[in-house]
Amino acid sequence: MGLINLLRLRRPKGMHIHLRQDDLLKLVVMFSNIYGWVLDIGNLLIPIKSPEQVRRRREEIEANNISFKFLLSVMLTEDMMPDLLEECHEAGADVLKYQPFGTTTNSQFGVRLEKLREKYDVLERALELRMIFTGHWELPYNPLTGKDIPLPLREELSIPYLSDVIDYFPGLTIGVEHISGRPMLQFVQQAPLNVFGGITAHHMGCTRADMRDQGSFNPHYSCRPVLKDFEDCLALMTAVSAEDNDNLIFTPDCAPHLKERKETMSDPPVGIFAPGHIGIPLIIQGLENVGLPIRETALNNFFSYNAERIYSLPPADDEIVLVREPCIVPAEYNGIVPLWAGRQLNWQMKEY
Ligand code: DOR
Ligand code: ZN
C-alpha cells in the first residue's frame, strides 16, 4: 500500500484534560477546541468536591467559551460522602475521579490507595447514579513500611487495588487513566467489559529517555505515571491500532504548568502540556515509525466512538483533517512548553 498523505477522522473526544483556572483555563480551552467534548479533571488547588464548586466550575469554563462541550468531574477525597456525591451529580458532575494520595499534582487530598475500601460506599452511590469512576492507578509508597516505591513500578503495583474495585463492582463503569506500561495494559485488555483504559499521546510517543536532555533532567517530559520504555510505547500503539480496541479511549491528559515553575523549582510540578494538535499527529507519526497500520476504523474507535459509547455522548457530526506536512513544534505557547517542543512532526492538523 502506498503512503497516505491525508487522513480524515471523526472529531475526537478529549476525555481527560486539566482545564485549570484563570489564564491557564483560557489557554487550555482555546487549545481544546479541536475536541467535540472534553472531560475536565477537577484536581484544582482546592479540589472540586461540592455542588457549589461544580456549578461555579461550569460557569468558569463557559465564561471562556459558551459553546465548549465538556463533562465535569468531582474528586474522591477523604471527606467525599455518598449524599454529597449525589448533590454534586445533581449540580452537573458526571464523573468521580480518583487520584490516590501522593501520586500526582494536588493529590494530597486524595484517599490513600490502601484506604480505598473505606470509600466503597461512595463508589456504590456512583454506581446507583450511573456516574463513571475513573482513576489514576499508582501506588506511590509501600503501605506497610511507608517507603517510596520507584516511579517505574508504581502503576503495576496498584493493580491489586484496582482489581479489588473491579471484583466488588461488576456494574460500575471503571476507568484506568493514562495507561503507561505493559502490565497495566495487559490487565485492562483482559478485564471485564465495564472496565476501560485511557491512553495519552506522550505515553505512546515518548520514553524515559525524553526526560534526559544531554544528560540532565528535562522537567517538560516529567509526568505521572512516569514515561516508560520503548517496549511499553510499542505495546500501547499496537493496542490502539488494533481492530479490537473497543475499551481503549484517548485521554490526552493535557496538564500544563508554567515554564518558569517547571524550570526553577527544586521539585518541579509533574504534567505535560499536550494539546490535541500536537498529540494526535504525534500518535499517527509514532504508528508509522514502527510500521503499524494507519486504519481509520481503529483510529475512529480510539479517538471518538469508544468514548461516545462509554460516556454516553452524542456522536461526532464533523471531521478533522490531517495532512502529511512536516513542521516544528513551537518552543512555547504563552510561557508554557508543549509536548514535543522544538521537534519535528510529520503530520499537521488542518481544518479544525
Ligand atoms: O502528570 C500529571 N499531571 N499527571 C496527573 O495525573 C496530573 C497532572 C496535573 O494535574 O498536572
Ligand atoms: Zn491528568
Q: The domain spanning residue 213 has which CATH number?
A: 3.20.20.140
Ligand 2: centre distance to CA 255 (Å): 6
| Predicted pLDDT of residue 215 | 86
Residue 1 CA to ligand 1 center (angstroms) comes to 39
How far does the centroid of ligand 1 lie from the alpha carbon of residue 99, in Å? 9
Residue nearest to atom 2 of ligand 1 (CA): 271
> Does residue 187 lie in a domain region?
yes
Pick the ligand that lies closest to the CA of residue 256: 1
Task: State if residue 43 touches ligand 1 by the CB under 6 angstroms criterion.
Answer: yes
The domain in which residue 182 lies consists of 10-318
DSSP 8-class letter at 115? G
Residue 340 lies in a domain: no
Tell which residue, 183, 226, 229, 185, has the closest CA to residue 207.
Answer: 229
What pLDDT shows up at residue 351? 67
Instruction: Specify if 293 maps to a domain.
Output: yes
Domain membership of residue 97 (yes or no) is yes
Q: Is 180 in the pocket of ligand 1 (CB under 6 A)?
A: no
Asked, for residue 338, whether it belongs to a domain, the answer is: no
Nearest CA among 45, 48, 46, 86 for reference residue 70: 48
Cα–ligand 2 centroid distance for 257 (angstroms): 12
pLDDT < 50 positions in the chain: none
Contact yes or no for 27/322 (Cβ under 8 A): no
**For ligand 1, atom 10: residue with the closest CA:** 105
| Ligand 1 binding pocket includes 18 (Cβ within 6 Å) | yes
Counting ligand 1 atoms within 8 A of each CB, the residue from 76, 105, 199 with the most, and so the one to mutate, is: 105
Rounded Cα–Cα distance for residues 182 and 228 (Å):
9
Ligand 1 neighbourhood includes 88 CB (under 6 angstroms): no
- Closest CA to ligand 1's atom 11: 271
Q: Is residue 349 in a domain?
A: no
| Contact in structure between 76 and 119 (CB atoms under 8 Å) | yes
The total number of structural domains in the chain stands at 1
Decide if 331 is inside a domain. no
pTM score, whole prediction: 0.97
In a domain, 347, yes or no: no
Edge to edge, what strands does the sheet with 174-176 contain? 14-17, 38-40, 70-75, 93-98, 132-135, 174-176, 195-199, 248-250
**How many residues appear in the chain?**
352
Confirm or reject: Cβ of 182 under 6 Å from ligand 1: no
Among residues 180, 159, 80, 156, which one has the least CA distance to residue 124? Answer: 80
The pLDDT, as a whole number, for residue 3 is: 84
